[in-house]
Structure 1
Amino acid sequence: MKDILNRLNGELLEQPFTPHDERLRTDDLTPYRDLARHYARLEGAVAVLSDLRANTSLVYYGACARMLGLKGVREGSDGELLDSIWEREILDRIHPDDLHEKYLLELCFFHFIRSRPRRLRGEYYFANRLRMKDRTGRYVPVLHRLFYIAPSSENVVRLALCLYTPALSDFPGRGVAVHTATGEVQELGERRDVRILSTRERQVIELMARGMMSKHIAQALSISIHTVSRHRQDILRKLRVGNSVEACRVARELGIL
């Protein structure tokens, strides 16, 4: 799980933020803070607004916080400031198996969003069911939703809004991307939904996974060995690994292989 978390951490925090993103003042983020506060008040959600550039979070605690036994907070307050985008007190309550899958699917969703036209990215959110400990230590079903927000003209995601509420009994799938305009649901984690690698890169890593050398991959795909080498380097960079063995292992975890 640590490898997946490090990869997700790098993807989110090492985006090419520009001086425009750095100049965003506190007042510029007020509408998004208000949005998180309203979700906490109206839905009873635990709402976490994370600033990916600053690596900080604001947590707003709705009525659901009482069920989860989150202490030392006051409902309807201005929010608790954390010096990380990872809200440890909340994450520590998630079942370890579900937490690992949460990170995997969030990485898939990040690339899913980046593969959509920029004008449509704000129309999707990610949702999945989690098992979380309540105030008695018993695991209860919780619905987790994630919105990536880009309050700038640049091709980056500046903010993330996570919501935790009691789960719906008929929630579909293990983790889905929901289109807010149409209600269309697309399950994440399936091979067709992973856009981390290009079509050609997926072909190359499939042959890598079979143990084929670069010259044989070049022959099989009718491309030059130099092109294969370039694809190999791009695969290692995108998957944030150091060698082909690690690349194949990570690709299996992400559903690419």
Structure 2
Amino acid sequence: MDTIDILSKEFFTQDFAEEQPYSELLGKYKDIARNYARMESAVAVLSDMRTNMSYIYYGSFSRMLEIDKCGDEGKVSSIWEKEIFKLIHPDDLAGKHLQELCFFHFVKHQPKSKRTDYYLISKLRMKNGKNNYISALHRMFYVSAPSNDTLWLALCLYSPLLFDIPAKCLIINSANGQMTEIGKQDSTRILSVREKQVLSLIDKGLTSKKIAETLSISINTVSRHRQEILGKLQVKNSIEACRVAKDLKLI
């Protein structure tokens, strides 16, 4: 299972309550995406994880990419904007998906009231019509569902890289200006030290009894850690937990 498959599974297995004002709020966020495209000359992609749809707004940057759609609005039956992905350098695209997975877990573990404070920023190489790669800035925001902790929308912005940033990829806290480099964020916010120990032993093929003996804890405690790990990583079994944890570089 690659990173994009993990992301898809985690997005689409979230609990979306049906009786919510999704349509009304979606219109509001579509206007925000459209205005980002206009005011920042960006290509803005608003992805709806509930319906597996994307809405694309083409600012002036689309001319640099030689996509002849400046000022247009597009609709795609997928949350993955493949038209844009094919312009991104393959190495950067793989990194982008892993960064988004890390950011997804980071945001999921923030209080709902604080989630809008954070966004992701990264450098990409994108291909123009002459098959030359140019430097681009990618930003990403997650939007929670109206009434619960589910992450509902993702807004991605692609624009020219007007100034360098101090790392390949950063999580920005817009409320206080704090910057955290992806890969150096506090992973213990996702799994505790003990949970990582347990998961590492699971990955080595040890049974719960053996893990209990190795760590000098009870089997009941091992079982509790297993359930906590599955919940925190939003997966259904230990095999998936090991895969996700490796992608997040937790083990």
TM-score by length of 2: 0.88
Distance 1:38 1:194, change over 3 A: farther
Tell me how far apart the structure 2 counterparts of residues 212 and 156 of structure 1 sit (CA, whole Å): 33
2:16·2:145 contact (CA, 8 Å) conserved in 1? no
Question: Structure 1, unaligned stretches of length 5 or more?
Answer: none
Structure 1 letter corresponding to 2:28: P
Aligned residue number for residue 214 of structure 2? 220
Moved over 4 A (4+): 209-213, 232-237, 239-244, 246-250
How far off its partner does 1:251 sit?
Answer: 2.7
In the other structure, the counterpart of 1:63 is 60
Q: How does 1:177-192 map to 2 (within 5 A)?
A: 177-190=171-184, 192=186
Stretches of structure 2 that go unaligned for 5 or more consecutive residues are none
The Cα of 1:138 is off from its aligned counterpart by 1.1
Partner residue in 1 for 2:71: 76
- Contact kept in structure 2, 1:111 and 1:195, CA below 8 Å: no
Give the alignment's Cα RMSD to 1 decimal: 2.4
Q: CA deviation at 1:224?
A: 1.8
Where 2:126 maps in the other structure, the secondary structure is strand
TM-score under structure 1 normalisation?
Answer: 0.87
Q: Which residue of 10, 21, 33 maps to 1:36?
A: 33
| Residue of structure 1 in register with 2:22 after alignment | 24
- Does the 8 Å contact 1:217/1:228 carry over to 2? yes
C-alpha deviation, 1:28, in angstroms: 2.9
Match of 1:53 in 2: 50
Cα offset, 1:24, TM superposition: 2.2
- After superposition, give the CA deviation of every residue in 1:56-85 in whole Å (9 maximum; x if it has no partner): 0110000111111223x2x333x1111111
Q: Number of aligned pairs?
A: 250
1:89 pairs, out of 60, 80, 83, with 83
| Aligned counterpart, 2:14 | 15
Could you list the per-position Cα deviations for residues 150-208 of structure 1 after superposition, in whole angstroms to 9, with x for gaps in the alignment?
25121111111100011244212121110111111011223624744344321212334
Give the distance between the partners of 1:224 and 1:236, measured in 2 at CA: 19
